[in-house]
Structure 1
Amino acid sequence: MQTESVAANTSLQAPAPTRYRGAIWTLLILAPVISEVLSGSTRLSILFVLIPEVMVWGGGALLCRELVRRWRAGTTSLLLLGLALSVAEEFIIQQTSIAPLPFPSANVDFGRYAGVNWIYLLFMLGFESVWVVLIPVQVTELIFPNRRQQPWLRKRGLIATCIAFFVGCRIAWYGWTQQARPRLHAAPYHPPAVLIFLGLAAMAALIGTAWLVRGYGHSGQIESRQPASPWILGIKAFVFAAAWFELIGLVFVPHPGLAAWIPLTAGSIWALLAFAIMRFWSAAHGWRDIHRFALSFGAVLGCMAMSDISAAGWTRVDLIGKFVFQFLGLVGFLLLGRKVWQREAVDRVPSR
């Protein structure tokens, strides 16, 4: 018995490189595909940007998950690390939340104060932490359920992932700030040092908080509570996700007709409400993979539905590519849902 325990602990600390390769590459690819391709942010005509996106979003999501598993932390810590990754993107890497928005149809002044695009930043904090980190990690662990609790990277893999991540950050910074912004006829922008410092400080605070609350946010801990039906959870996730995309829509309304503090306050409350409701149900003792799948699927459907509304003006090639990608994504989720359902049906069969 003691030998088995030592062997299990050794496996946890130093996983074989081939054992987790499939899970690692799945997460690396799913992070940008779910967040960028299925949302329509990365179109068929610029699909080459998936390479740095895999390095930044995929590598970032993998590093966030790795820290959470090594800390034996819960979803709350993963969310906080996802927020830290989002701050890095918005303040350090591409600086999209501090530079004046370069999009031709954007209302540049709406919600911009003290050098920060606050409404855009709020939306991105939610989008990048959930659709880049939480959902891809959840989906990957549903595909590889037996490897959910273990770290996937050894020392060499961790170093390689960090190097790829930072190289991807450099590519993403150059591609956006030095190439894409000038093509959008945006004026050169040099971020104030104080904003860079505040971004770094926020990242450090979020990472430190993620470590401090590592014992909080584990699912299935409250035996007296039962989770809602997977159907209800999926519908709630769809509603919360679809409503969240209304926030970014306000940035592109010429005359919103309301003060910026109203959507900022409403969006913050909406995000806290979503977190509280999902945390309440996931803490229930009966929380299972089918509930995890329903949340992820509902949120991705909400994202895809709202991006379809904003696809006006796209080229025919990009529109065709968008719907092909979304169809493939839908098929993939349905196949995963079938697999999860069959797996749970087998687990529920009483042993003789």
Structure 2
Amino acid sequence: MFFLAPFVGEFLLGNQPITAFGSIFLFAPMYGGGAVLIRELARRFGLGWSGIVILAVAYGLAEEGPIDQMLFNPGYLNLDSFAGMAEIPGLQLSLTLLQGTVTLHTIWSICVPIALVEACAPGVQRPWLRRGGLTAVAVVFVVGSTLLGILQALGFHFVASPAQFVVSAVIIVVLIVLAFVIGRRTHRPLAGQVPRPLVVGLTGFAVTSVFWLESVLFPDGVGSEWISASWWFVLFGTATAGIVRWARRGSWTPYHTLALATGALLTYAWAGFAHARELDGTSLPIALAGNTVFALIAIGLAVFARHRLVSQTPS
């Protein structure tokens, strides 16, 4: 999980070429440390998947907010300002980037790696680390994230305002508290059947693929950024409500969780080829060859997780 999180978040997406695969050790303390911490805290305190998702949102805001400051720095994307990206008035913040941050890190940086690795050890709903191990991972996460934040600040010559740091920190703390409050609630299972895992997986693939096709669905034009931002709420609001209702039914199984994660993983596999075509300093053949390797690794991991689930789950 420690290395799978940065592999999915950076390499499968096509943000990093295969020639820079060694940088996974640079990303692992933040990505992997965050994923392991969230999984361990959730299992240690019985938060369930609702708690994991909310903690993943907090992680996404922390990474793109106080750590690398992308949410506050238009220069991060070579922009003069956030105008034209659904800028939130008075906050110097792009709603478009905020939505993207929540989506990418919640689904792919955290939840998908956790679901895949847990499928390889089915039935294990307890912590894997003792207190000393959990403390060590927390230290690695904090130190690694701090160093990456310093490198980003020096590289972009940008530091967010104190107000932006304070507001983002308050929101992150609120989300963490909310994860523990909501995650520990128990609900009586709902009656009714859940679609087959294949249908659940295809649903996850379709919803996440539609998210990545946003620029095709809403080409640049007057007001398009706000139409796109509104569509995000419709898409993921509807999908979340449906998935939560399925997951609360007694017939929901680990196979459904793995299928949902696999559907999202396959979306990153194809989206990574589009990103790889835009890599600076890397030839197109090498970029595409690298993402072919990454996609095959991802598919192989999903198949292996399914095999482990089948072999260790009683019929």
Scaled by the length of structure 2, what TM-score is found? 0.89
Show CA shifts across 1:209-231 (max 9, x none): 1111123477xx52622211111
2:77 is paired with a residue of what secondary structure?
Answer: coil
Q: 209, 226, 235: which one pairs with 2:178? A: 209
**Shift, 1:174, TM fit:** 2.7
Aligned residue for 1:86? 60
Contiguous gaps of at least 5 residues in structure 1: 1-26, 182-187
Q: Are the counterparts in 2 of residues 76 and 217 from structure 1 also a CA contact under 8 Å?
A: no
Displacement of 1:89: 0.9
Q: Does residue 1:97 correspond to 2:71, yes or no?
A: yes
Quick check: 1:77–1:217 contact (8 Å CA) kept in 2?
no
Aligned-pair Cα RMSD in Å? 2.3
Percent same amino acid among aligned pairs?
Answer: 22
Is contact 1:40–1:322 with CA below 8 Å preserved after alignment? yes
Match of 2:101 in 1: 124
From the superposition, tell whether residues 323 and 92 of structure 1 become closer, same or farther in structure 2 (CA, over 3 Å).
same
Aligned to 1:184: none
Are residue 57 (structure 1) and residue 22 (structure 2) matched?
Answer: no
User: Is 2:120 the counterpart of 1:155?
Assistant: no
Quick check: 1:274 aligned with 2:269?
no
Contact 2:194 2:246 in 1 (8 A): yes
Any unmatched runs of 5+ in structure 2? Answer: none
Structure 2: how far apart are the matches of 1:155 and 1:45? 37
Once residues 106 and 341 of structure 1 are traced to their aligned partners in structure 2, the CA distance between those partners, rounded to angstroms, is: 52
Cα displacement string for residues 211-266 of structure 1 (whole angstroms, at most 9, x for unaligned residues): 11123477xx526222111111111100111122234x48x97x444343221121
Q: Does 1:31 align with 2:8?
A: no
Other-structure match for 2:140: 164
Question: What is aligned with 2:191?
Answer: 224
Look at both structures and tell me which one has the larger radius of gyration over its CA atoms: 1
Aligned to 1:337: 306
C-alpha distance in 2 between matches for 1:75 and 1:53: 24
State whether residues 97 and 118 of structure 1, in contact with CA within 8 Å, keep that contact through their aligned partners in structure 2: no
Q: TM-score, normalised by structure 1?
A: 0.80
How many angstroms does 1:343 deviate by? 4.1
Q: Secondary structure at the match of 2:76?
A: coil
Q: Letter of the aligned partner of 2:305 in structure 1?
A: L
Shift of 1:122: 0.6
Inter-partner Cα distance in structure 2 for 1:242 and 1:150: 33
Partner of 1:20: none
